[in-house]
Homo-oligomer: A and B are copies of this chain.
């Protein structure tokens, strides 16, 4: 049997024992894992140094090397993350529905683990700890497949975590790391029906597309965010400028940041020149439609490609629109159904926008940057689902659960 199937089978067996553990048993394991990371940090940092040397030799970019690098502070953060997950409420065993049918059958719908989750991710080794913690808390075994550039780090981290588990009631086999880092191990995971119950890709658009197109195992898709902010003439000026700048500038590399600003014509005429100056001061490169450039001739022209591009950096496309209908049409055409915002003092327009825009999160008078598991109060960040089935938007721990109907009778048969 291949590495993927062998390890998924071990994970499956472990998942059965894990599924029936108490919250206290799982939390104790999470804390033991956190302690072990801190205690064994020198081992992890040493292994990570080898990955960094390889990365430099292979010409890896400075940015990627920085994401790969582990130090004491980052390991403490990883350990803290596990401790926070231990403190979250355990969704497993929660009763979702309960009732007695006319024939006396008692039917209870309860939350349970999904089973064995496959996580496919890139570069950052903190995902190894993060995914392990979230999976174990929800009673799931996990098969981790990180990138080749972090293999030595991931191997050491998983080794440390599994050593910690040996002292707990959580079976160490619940954590599995795939060490074959060629593309074929990814593809095998995607087709491992019966071995894996779900695959969650965490990484760039091309990884996620590859997973969605090729997987027969169910997928939780996270990813693309081409988010718009639409500002109406009735908007309160300072609020609009503050929201627009925050949505673009506060952390441009993430999926909930703004990529395109839509301005109703009256607002644009009155306030775009000032807003454009503020964006320039924040080092944002601006690309505008014809009308925008009449107001600020010094900015570049936006092409058709710009409206469909998720920059994830300090670039912003800007378009002047006639009103709500044109804004809705633009968002429908170019949006990725992630996070969309209207800034307006017109309550009826706000309501229409919130109802008609089809996105995981729709905002009235607030920055799209809030689309996030922590900001939504879930205490964890499994990711932001951009699909419509199972989970949509920021995912808390319940996104890693399934359900079971428990039916109790006293001899009922169907007539």
Interface residues of A (CB under 8 A from B): 16, 19-20, 99, 101, 105, 107, 109, 112, 114-115, 193, 197-198, 212-216, 218-220, 236, 239, 242-243, 246-247, 250-251, 332, 350, 354-356, 358-367, 369-371, 375-377, 387-390, 392-394, 402-415
Contacts and interface: CB of A to CB of B under 8 A. Distances in A.
A125 B376 CA distance: 45
Nearest to A352: B20
B388 A393 contact: no
A99 to B, nearest CB: 7
12 contacts: A220-B389, A239-B411, A250-B413, A350-B408, A362-B405, A363-B409, A365-B412, A366-B408, A366-B411, A367-B413, A371-B405, A376-B405
Given A193-B212, A218-B387, A388-B197, A409 B101 contact: no
A337 to B, nearest CB: 9
* Count of this chain's copies in the oligomeric assembly: 2
B411 A250 contact: no
A408 B390 CA distance: 24
Contact of A370 (B19, B20, B370, B407): B407
A230 to B, nearest CB: 15
A376 B359 CA distance: 32
B389 A389 contact: yes
A404 B361 contact: yes
Given A355-B20, A413-B369, A407 B363 contact: yes
Determine the main DSSP class of A at the interface with B. mixed
Given A388-B218, A389-B198, A16 B356 contact: yes
A360 B407 CA distance: 11
A216 B219 CA distance: 10
A213 B212 contact: no
Nearest to A366: B409
Contacts of A356: 16, 19-20
A219 B216 CA distance: 10
A291 to B, nearest CB: 26
A409 B332 CA distance: 23
B365 A404 contact: no
Contacts of A239: 410-411
Contacts of A247: 413
A379 to B, nearest CB: 13
Given A243-B411, A354-B406, A360-B404, 13 more contacts: A101-B375, A197-B389, A218-B387, A236-B411, A350-B408, A358-B404, A359-B404, A361-B404, A364-B407, A365-B409, A370-B414, A375-B414, A392-B403
Given A242-B411, A411-B236, A404 B362 contact: yes
Residue of A112, A218, A366, A410 with most partner-chain B CB within 10 A: A366
A404 to B, nearest CB: 7
